Structure 1
Amino acid sequence: MSTSSPTLPVDVAALAGVPADKGEVHVVHLYPREMSIYGDLGNTRCLAARLRWHGYSPVVHDHHPGAPFPRRVDLVVGGGGQDSGQVRVQHDLAVQADRLRELAAEGVPMLMICGMYQLFGEAFITVEGVRLPGLGILGVTTRGNRTRMIGPVVLETGFGPVVGYENHSGSTELGAGQAPFGRVRHGSGNNGTDGTEGARTHNVVGSYLHGPVLPANPALADGLLSLAARRATGGWAPGTVDDTLALEAQGRQIRRLLRS
């Protein structure tokens, strides 16, 4: 029987004996089997590793279709998937819709990538014109088209510069009053025309950026973790983390793309 029992990914910090005594932070990964292409599972592994590096105890719940939703939730992540994957999770997503809307309204941080970003919007309209309703947590509408937007992306966001890789055929439009996740400095973003990428409402972030995006952008990862830790423990007491290599790689990618 499918359950949502917690699993703890192995990470370098755990092997090194880094203490984790600042409290538990519960991370829920939505549909890791169906919606985790292009390395998006790495986002969850990054969050768990960084929590340990900062001295917290990560508890990761893999939520599968048909399973009970975890009772304790401090942060939610979801990834991209093929059309078949989206079909397989739609029923369960409808069952969990009210709970997810409630958590979003409470300020629970969430990161939804690509396909899950689209499903968290108002609707997806297929190439044939069929309108598929979404959760409505993010005020965006996506239309399928026959042209894909593929390639590296550089954004300016509230978390600082963010780099990643997009690969999507959906063209997403922000509704009235909906804030983007970031402004495009290189790449296509939501639709290739208005200079926006992703969407952010409360602490819910939707984005097309794969990579996985969090290991390449430590400030974004820690921004989400700070929100989750405050919810879980009442405060955020980061440890000292050496992000030299990640930041060097990020900076080189930014410089290379903005010169091109």
Structure 2
Amino acid sequence: MASRILQVMGLFRGRPWPLTVEDIAQETGVSQSSAYRDVQELCRAGFLDPVIGAGYVLGPAFIEYDRLLRQGDTLIPIASRVMHELLDQTTQRATAILCRRYRDTVMCVHQEHGTAPHPITTYERGVAMPLFAGASSKVVLAHLDDRSLKRIYLDNEDTIRARLGHGDWKAFKAEVRAIRRDGVVETVSEVAEGRAGIAAPVLVNKQVIAGVSLVLAAEDLAGASPAIRAAVIEAGRRISEEIAGSGTWVAR
């Protein structure tokens, strides 16, 4: 039952709303009566809401839980302050992004905008991006353990070859391990044309829990890259140290 409920919730990802009971029954492979019971249970809990036309949309419980998540998150308050300082030290014509791994994607969990005009990013809280494109994603990918990295490669081999041009596991591993060795990654026009990203890892007990990055126009990066790289690395180091020192985060 629990797995079916999760399956119902997953139907709202990447498709138009609202969904009807008939849609849910067809997609989950159950009878309409079973789908109706699932929907009613989710409505009672506030995770779904009925709308005109016999359809259902996501409900207000998600807003409540997002608020609770923000209140209990020890990473964001620490990172937010450091990200503000990163913009002060580099350029206000940028956005500082904090991302965490979510399944086989990287999800933006927080962003701080510079005060000067800057490019609009495709990242916002809750947006998940593939692990294989953009600085924010690649810096998290590069710091995964070999077992996780190999599984991700095997599960996404065709995508990796298409995006990165690698023909085998060894070449893929060599590239991500080079990023790990450098402690920073810089990309241009991988997520959006004309946008540059520089990212560094946030580590606890040598395990990656997040990535912090600066997103700016590619032309603003020219000539300032070494200084910006150093500032982003330092931001990642500071967040890592403060999270570890707070004793509120246990990496596994």
The TM-score, its normalising length taken from structure 1, stands at 0.29
Judging by fraction of residues, say which structure has more helix.
Answer: 2
Structure with greater Cα Rg: 2
Judging by fraction of residues, say which structure has more strand.
Answer: 1
